[in-house]
Amino acid sequence: MVERDRVAAWLDAYVRAWKSYEPGAIGDLFSEDAAYWYGPFGEPERGRETIVASWLKDPDAPSTYDAHYEPIAIEGDVAVANGRSRYFTGDGSTLGTEYDNVFVLRFDGDGRCAEFREWFMERPRDRG
């Protein structure tokens, strides 16, 4: 059974790995045979090395994004998290696009993610 504090720590490490694009930090998040779905449709990336390579394929420019995610439900080795990803314009401070995210995560006995499923929706911009 995975604990809330461990899931929260994993989500924080996920954001740090995204910000660093350091292959070791990314790989440490996932089990050797993990499956990673970037969306609800299509086939997952399979295996730690493939997941790391997919993250590094088209990296976001430094200082143009931020995110925060929190666990909202946990049952056994599965956790559901919700949060927001924010992308900024080239100046690094003007908000460009925001997404609300839901992750469904299944963890192995070592605390690594064995299955990662992501759903995201762009937040509407204020019209006022």
Pairwise CA distance, residues 49 & 72, whole Å:
29
pTM as predicted: 0.93
What pLDDT is stored for residue 128 in this prediction?
46
The CA-based dihedral angle spanning residues 35, 32, 50, 78, taken in that order and rounded to the nearest 10 degrees: 20
CB atoms within 10 A of CB 40: 10
Per the listing, tokens 């989500």 go with 11
Pairwise CA distance, residues 54 & 121, whole Å:
21
65 vs 4, 44, 89, 97, CA distance in Å?
25, 24, 9, 9
47 vs 52, 54, 99, CA distance in Å?
9, 11, 26
Tens-digit pLDDT profile for the chain (128 aa)? Answer: 899 999 999 999 999 999 999 999 999 999 999 999 999 889 999 999 999 999 999 999 888 999 999 999 999 999 999 999 999 987 778 899 999 999 999 999 999 999 999 999 999 877 54
Domain definitions of the chain by residue range: 4-122
Per the listing, tokens 């993250």 go with 55
Pairwise CA distance, residues 40 & 25, whole Å:
25
Pairwise CA distance, residues 71 & 11, whole Å:
8
Write down the architecture of domain 4-122 according to CATH.
Roll (3.10)
- CB contact at 8 A, 79 and 1: no
